[in-house]
Amino acid sequence: TWLVEEKFFRVPFYNILRKDRQQPYGGVMIGIRNGIEFKSISVPTSGSVECVGVSVKVNDKFVAILSTYIPPNGRCTLADLQNSLSQIKEPCFLLGDLNAHGISWGSLRDNARANILYDIIDEYQMSILNDGSHTRIACPPNVSSCVDISLCSNSLALYCSWKVVDDPNDSDHLPIITEYTPTIATDTLTEDFIFDMTKNIDWNKFRDLLSVELSSQKNLDPVKTRYENFSNALIRCLMQSQTKRFKSGKNKIRDPTFWWDRECSQKLEEKSNAFKIFRSTGLREHYFEYKKTEAAFTRTTKSKKRNYWKNFVESLDKDVSLSTLWSVARKMRNCKTRTESMTEYSEQWIDQFVEKVCPPYVPTNVKYFSNSRAEIFGNLGTPLSLYEFDMALSSSNNTAPGLDKIKMAVLKNLPEVAREALLQIFNDLLEQNVCPEDWRQIKVVSIQKPGKNPSLPESYRPICLLSCIRKLLERMLLNRLELWAEKQNVFSETQYGFRKGRGTRDCLALLASNAQLSINKKQECASVFLDISGAYDSIVVNILVDKMDKLGLPTKLVNFLSNLLSFKVMKFYNKNSLQTVRYSYFGIPQGSCLSPFLYNIYTNDIDRVLPNGCVLYQFADDAVLSISGKDRAVIEHFMQQSLNRIEDWASENGLTFSVEKTKSILFTNKRNPPNLELSLYGEKIENVTEHKYLGIWFDYKMTWKAQITYLQKVCSKRINFLRTITGTWWGAHPNDMLMLYKTTILSVLEYGCFTFGSACNTHLHKLEKIQYRCLRICIGLMHSTHTKSVEVIAGIVSLQTRFFELNCRFLIKTIAEKHPVVDILDDLFEINPSSRLLSAYRHCITIDIKNPPTTRNFSFGIETHSFKPDIDESLLTELKNIPTHHLNRVAQNIFQHKIATENKQSIFYTDGSRIDGTAGFGVYNENISYFFGMQEPCTVFSAEITAILFTLKLIQKLPPAKYTICSDSLSALRALQLNQIRGSTNQTVLLIKEVIISLIAQGFGIKLLWIPAHSNIYGNDQADNLAKLGARRGMVFQHGTEIREYSYLIREHITEDWQLSWDRSDMGRWCYSIIPRVSKNPWFKNLETELGSRMFIKTFSRIMSNHYGLKSHLYRINLTDSNMCECGVSYEDFDHVLWSCERYAEKREKLKNDLRNMGKNEHPTIRDILGCKDFKMLQLIHVFISENKIRI
């Protein structure tokens, strides 16, 4: 403020609280508008901290606001800030110019004061409100900074919005507006409300109505008419099946909140009815009945809310945006959902966006092929089957519907007759080359790209919302086409995008390995990162269908796709209102599952134009060219030649590269890399020293410093969100917090770890600090807790160990598949075997990968992937509520009843077992019994599934009849029920399906039946004994070992190393005495929610670590002058407080009585109680801690 005491200062209509210096520098102030209830807070200050505080009444609660200033060169320690905050009891805001540079609030680095603030944030459970915007203006070349920091208690953060005002008002600091609005959300509806036809549907009624209506329709009508009748019937039956009367516009009654469901409404109705009865009678028993229903309603809603959050967290991945997390969290708190003020775009902006997506083209003639070639590739052109229909449905997500508003959830609830009718329509559409007019109507919405200027049309990505019925047919076609393409090796080996079993990790590993190899060879590696402008929108359909025809696809399929893609009616929407309509004759829609596959077909021949020595890595439209060598002139010559050829190829195919977005980088170990003279379309390509490719920052010396800094920035904002959630009851449980950490932060840290995992330890340690900070927040551990104790308590290995595990799993797969990255790593190992990039590779080459499967999953036909065997799991449901002591007898009786009518000689029992590091399986029948050992490595699952396959081989030799295979492995049977095409599917599962299909064709009947293990079912007990015999001394069954089996070897190796490190560590010995064995599950994993509350887990986790808020520990870390208890008898550790301290003698008697009632007469140490995990005793101790308000 630069005010002094004698300086008079006032603001009309405001009460002013200020604290000034003796000299006209510094000074802090708070102004409170008249009419707001407040009281001044006496804030103690020390060091250079200047602070004034006020407590303001908001909605009958008080919130503290501290205005703080710390000079840039002033002394400020952790104790100084703790001193200022020590007297604050209510939730608070800490705001001001703190002159701290921290990555978490937008700075480029962390200085010493930032580390002090991090400790304050952790200790006082605060959140950072800054969004990374600069708050102080600097004159270039100085960089603007973020020294004005806004912190608040976690319980306040979800109610806050924060923004910087663009006008500095003649200051070098920008004004900051923090809005705190703890109000209940009121949902407002726009007039353009979109009716959700799946919201309140009686699906049984819907299926019955649709079955009746479709049975009356004639199959003799033209296919277009049948399709229109089908879609109209869907709409009519949906409207008739509504369980609630639909009201549109402002009068529509909506659920109280988005996690609300029918059960909540039912409980609310029961509570309301009980209350009405009580009000009308006034009887005591009716009052208790009302309170009972009220409690049931509260339990239900709390459970629904907590489970919604848990399911939401489990569904997240690294790509989830921070705005999505904040939005959902604010809705969970019933806060007003804030949306930034939208810029009202003019028609000119809309026109620019439309011109970019759908430029005006003259209509072209649709290209059809008349010569129907003979079927080359098996059943690619045969009619679609009902199995394929169901497989496509099961793998389709509930995506946004098209203009017909029919969601995928409707199609997933179709009755049998409707599924058959729609399948017949699909086959007729393909056969007759007919495209419904609804499918050409495409709703186009714009999605803003992250971090882009919202006023520019190129900052938006067009998304096409297609009819879900169309998307279902496209999914069925895609399943066939993917199998065909992979089986026939259609795609170039340089294309890794949108292919089963391949991904961004392949491209990143190849680029990083190639660059590292070049540097180790004393060479230079030039790479050019290419960017295609409007890749999907620029595809020429006639060229695409020409390429598909040349590949030998069935003529009718090529013609249908040509018809489907050649003409589109694009309806552009903004804010749910139609803006303009354009007709498109080019491009493939973004939003179609077929589009990535078709794009790969379109660009499949790009690498054929490249000269020898130039390598290309593609992930869809993200491509990079690389050339290595010692002579820079030769590198430039061949790279320019490659660019010229690719430029010509793009012109022939109607594509254009963006020169502005195309970058070049020279990987070298030289300090100042020279610039490359390269051009595209006659324009020079920009040289950079670092570039982001597929989410990873590559720098020219491969130090990965830019990537580590990027991860720090990304994770710091997510850590702030994590810290905020600790202030909620529905998301703060440590189990949920750890899941949130794994899905939103750990997944970000793990991505691409094969590349930057080779960074030096100094850089990697920065990432380790991120993990330790997150784990301490999740569990509530003190900042001083040793890192190894943190890992063991949380059940999470160190980041470097996790990187090693992921890299080993990747390399095992690449070695088995003879991936090109293996050759590069072999060469690097010969030159520099100690390279940090090879840490996982050195371990993997010691593993003997025996007998990997010789057949890829894609060699199996579509009928095998889509087939679902007859599997009976009814015993699982029937035994669900049977008490344990009756389970064996009841299971026996139910099972005998199930097989009473079957021939006992046609029933086979299978089982798998693993004993002392070896696995085996057994098969039992009244006439035969077999047992075999399994080739290592092998899991119990593999033994179980192999036993089923062996049994089917035995049945093949028997006469056709009905056979039943009984297995107690639910995981094996459910793996057989999956009908999705995955590169990771167990090949034994596919072999079993193939054999069953063959047997059914021969007249066999095969049923798989689940039975409970160890339930005195004679056949199962015999199979179990045979399996154990096979594991001990059975002949090894010759069967290929799945690649995933080697992952378990890696996991065992990781666990052994972790255990060895924990055994040998000098730190965390108290924790070691309680948790001597490491585990990838936290110690509280299976605790019930009622028992294992956050406070319960936080308290005993701190005691396990021996880092807690009593003087015995605070003295060790210099936060108190003595370790003696206030009672003066002994030093203050937890055992003293629990059993001896006189201050708690009164409440201790109650504790001792409760323990005696449990039969606990002795008073063991807390270490012994925690070691034996006596949770009932710990619950009583936790009550004792809470009642005495002991700060742990």
pLDDT band at 344 (very low <50, low <70, confident <90, very high): very low
Beta bridge partners of 444: 464, 572
Look at residue 378 in the predicted model and tell me its pLDDT.
Answer: 56
Residues 660 and 522 in one domain: yes
Residues 481 and 504 in one domain: no
Residue 563 to residue 552: CA distance in whole angstroms: 18
Q: Could you say which of 1025, 1041, 1057 is where a domain stops?
A: 1041
Residues 175 and 123 in one domain: yes
Look at residue 348 in the predicted model and tell me its pLDDT.
Answer: 57
Helix, strand, coil fractions of the chain, as percent rounded to 5: 45, 15, 40
> Per-residue pLDDT for 777 more than 70?
yes
- The CA–CA distances, whole Å, from 456 to 299, 451, 656, 1132, 1170 equal 49, 12, 20, 64, 60
806-855 pLDDT, tens digit per residue, is 999 999 989 888 899 999 999 999 999 999 999 999 999 888 876 565 55
Look at residue 699 in the predicted model and tell me its pLDDT.
Answer: 94
Q: Which sign, positive or negative, has the C-alpha torsion 1052, 1054, 1056, 1062?
A: negative
Tokens standing for 1142?
A: 């006189």
Q: Rank 69-78, 678-687, 1162-1171 by mean pLDDT and report only the highest.
A: 678-687
Look at residue 251 in the predicted model and tell me its pLDDT.
Answer: 47
DSSP 1147: H
Tokens standing for 207?
A: 């299926």
Look at residue 1061 in the predicted model and tell me its pLDDT.
Answer: 94
pLDDT > 70: percent of the chain: 93
Residues 654 and 727 in one domain: no
Residues 304 and 218 in one domain: no
Look at residue 386 in the predicted model and tell me its pLDDT.
Answer: 93
In a domain, 285, yes or no: yes
Tokens standing for 250?
A: 């402002």
Look at residue 325 in the predicted model and tell me its pLDDT.
Answer: 87
Residue 240 to residue 120: CA distance in whole angstroms: 59
356-366 pLDDT, tens digit per residue, is 777 766 566 67
841-875 pLDDT, tens digit per residue, is 999 988 887 656 555 677 788 888 889 999 999 99
Q: What angle do CA 742, 744, 746 make, to 5 degrees?
A: 45
Residue 743 to residue 721: CA distance in whole angstroms: 13
Q: Which residues of 620-757 form beta strands (DSSP E)?
A: 622-629, 663-667, 679-680, 683-684, 686-687, 690-693, 696-699
In a domain, 1089, yes or no: no
Look at residue 342 in the predicted model and tell me its pLDDT.
Answer: 34
Residue 1192 to residue 1185: CA distance in whole angstroms: 8
In a domain, 1076, yes or no: no
> Per-residue pLDDT for 1175 more than 50?
yes
> Per-residue pLDDT for 1074 more than 70?
yes
Residue 301 to residue 102: CA distance in whole angstroms: 40
The average pLDDT across 125-135 equals: 89
Q: Rank 321-325, 433-437, 979-983 by mean pLDDT and report only the highest.
A: 433-437
Residues 1027 and 925 in one domain: yes
Of 185-189, 393-397, 686-690, 844-848, give the lowest mean pLDDT range.
Answer: 185-189
Of 424-428, 496-500, 659-663, 735-739, give the lowest mean pLDDT range.
Answer: 496-500
Q: Which residues of 844-957 form beta strands (DSSP E)?
A: 870-872, 907-915, 918-924, 929-934
DSSP letters spanning 278-324: HHHH--HHHHHHHHHHHHHHHHHHHHHHHHHHHHHHHT--TT--HHH
pLDDT band at 719 (very low <50, low <70, confident <90, very high): very high
Q: Could you say which of 786, 821, 854 is where a domain stops?
A: 854
Tokens standing for 47?
A: 């060091």
Look at residue 194 in the predicted model and tell me its pLDDT.
Answer: 42
Asked if 706 and 763 count as a contact pair (C-beta separation under 8 A), the reply is no
Look at residue 674 in the predicted model and tell me its pLDDT.
Answer: 85
In a domain, 1103, yes or no: no
Residues 555 and 460 in one domain: yes
pTM reported for the whole predicted model: 0.86
Look at residue 185 in the predicted model and tell me its pLDDT.
Answer: 44
Q: Which amino acid is at 1038?
A: Q
Residue 1028 to residue 1030: CA distance in whole angstroms: 5
Residues 1023 and 1140 in one domain: no
Residue 602 to residue 546: CA distance in whole angstroms: 10
Residues 723 and 574 in one domain: no
Straight-line distance from the first to the last Cα atom of the chain, in angstroms, rounded to the nearest whole number: 40
Look at residue 187 in the predicted model and tell me its pLDDT.
Answer: 40
**Domain around 426:** 346-489+540-586
Look at residue 930 in the predicted model and tell me its pLDDT.
Answer: 95
Residues 635 and 725 in one domain: no
The total of other beta-carbon atoms located within 10 Å of residue 1093's CB is 18
In a domain, 366, yes or no: yes
Average pLDDT, the chain: 87
- The CA–CA distances, whole Å, from 326 to 260, 338, 776 equal 19, 10, 21
DSSP letters spanning 354-393: HHHHS------PPP-----PPP-STTTTSPP-HHHHHHHH
Residue 1110 to residue 442: CA distance in whole angstroms: 65
Residue 954 to residue 949: CA distance in whole angstroms: 9
Residues 76 and 173 in one domain: yes
In a domain, 1067, yes or no: no
Residue 939 to residue 949: CA distance in whole angstroms: 16
Residue 486 to residue 855: CA distance in whole angstroms: 12
Instruction: Give the number of domains in the chain.
Output: 8
Q: Which amino acid is at 353?
A: F
In a domain, 1069, yes or no: no
pLDDT band at 244 (very low <50, low <70, confident <90, very high): low
Residues 286 and 309 in one domain: yes
The values of phi and psi at residue 638, to 5°, are: -70, -35
The values of phi and psi at residue 696, to 5°, are: -120, 135
Contact residues for 361 (Cβ-Cβ < 8 A; gap 6+)? 584, 585, 586
Asked if 844 and 365 count as a contact pair (C-beta separation under 8 A), the reply is no
Residue 74 to residue 710: CA distance in whole angstroms: 30
Asked if 429 and 223 count as a contact pair (C-beta separation under 8 A), the reply is yes
Q: Could you say which of 649, 673, 693 is where a domain stops?
A: 693
- The CA–CA distances, whole Å, from 300 to 201, 262, 264, 266, 313 equal 22, 11, 7, 10, 20
Residue 692 to residue 694: CA distance in whole angstroms: 7
Residue 442 to residue 879: CA distance in whole angstroms: 50
Q: Which sign, positive or negative, has the C-alpha torsion 393, 396, 400, 402?
A: negative
> What are the counts of helices (DSSP H) followed by strands (DSSP E) for the chain?
43, 30
In a domain, 246, yes or no: no
- Minimal CA–CA distance to 767: which of 807, 800, 719? 800
> Per-residue pLDDT for 1086 more than 70?
yes
